[in-house]
Chain A
């Protein structure tokens, strides 16, 4: 009985707190994406005007994000029936956008970031089989100052 109460509490906490935190995070991501829209990030290796480049340096940004209890349960159910696991989609989307934004924050004073690379790795807790749980995204590129 107590087990059931704990389980239901965790699900409720995960659902309400988790979806609140996710909404807040998306709001902050959107605000900062508008703020940094003037700093273009491209995947090309060559700068448009190589002769005008004054300075170049490596910049990076990373984030580790975990999924909430409710979504983890939904994903486990999805594993039985198959189909899109939307809860993981939003987790990884948030992590990628956040990592790129942090990289842009680290590129203070730069005019352009070229050769963007994104690296994703899952950090499983206690190495449980098949669990994603939390994901790390690492973004890096070369910041140019004209």
Chain B
């Protein structure tokens, strides 16, 4: 699966459009991670637990999007966008969407 966030796959031609594909995950914070984050709130600095949590969630959202594109018969996704929104206190939604296409 070839994924880019530009409107084409350089060096290849788009031959078919399959429409929008998307994937999303909603993740809640982990209690252990939240305690560490409490310490970090005093000292400042990177919250590694959250960085990992969000990276894993985005990966999963991307996987879901890729699965959807595969089931449509696409071999590439172009113009991918990410968006984050907080749904409730302590939970975040990670959404990724793009256009499934077939390239040659």
Chain A residues close to B by CB (< 8 Å): 10, 13-14, 17-18, 21-22, 25, 45-47, 50-51, 53-54, 56-58, 60, 62-69, 71-72, 91, 98, 114-115, 117, 119, 121, 123-127, 133-134, 136, 138, 140-142, 144
CB pair B6–A54 under 8 Å, yes or no, is no
Residue among B45, B51, B86, B90 making CB contact with A25, cutoff 8 Å: B45
Question: A14 CA to B90 CA in the complex, in Å?
Answer: 24
CB pair B89–A144 under 8 Å, yes or no, is no
Question: A71 CA to B44 CA in the complex, in Å?
Answer: 9
- List 13 additional A-B contacts (Cβ < 8 Å) besides A66-B40, A141-B5: A25-B46, A53-B10, A58-B3, A58-B5, A62-B58, A115-B5, A121-B92, A125-B41, A127-B88, A134-B37, A140-B5, A140-B80, A140-B82
For B51, B58, B86, B89, the residue with the greatest tally of chain A CB atoms inside 10 Å of its CB is: B51
* Tally of contact residues, B, Cβ under 8 A: 36
Question: A40 CA to B55 CA in the complex, in Å?
Answer: 24
For A56, A117, A127, the residue with the greatest tally of chain B CB atoms inside 10 Å of its CB is: A56
Residue of A nearest to B8 (CB): A50
B20 within 8 A of A: no
CB contacts (< 8 Å) of B7 on chain A: these are 45
Residue of A nearest to B51 (CB): A64
The 5 lowest CB-CB distance pairs between A and B, nearest first, are: A68-B44, A127-B89, A53-B10, A64-B50, A18-B44
Residue among A17, A66, A140 making CB contact with B41, cutoff 8 Å: A66
Chain B residues close to A by CB (< 8 Å): 2-7, 9-11, 34, 37-38, 40-47, 50-51, 54-55, 58, 80-86, 88-90, 92
CB pair A57–B58 under 8 Å, yes or no, is no
CB contacts (< 8 Å) of B9 on chain A: these are 56
Q: A126 with B44: in contact, given A62-B54, A119-B84 (CB under 8 Å)?
A: no
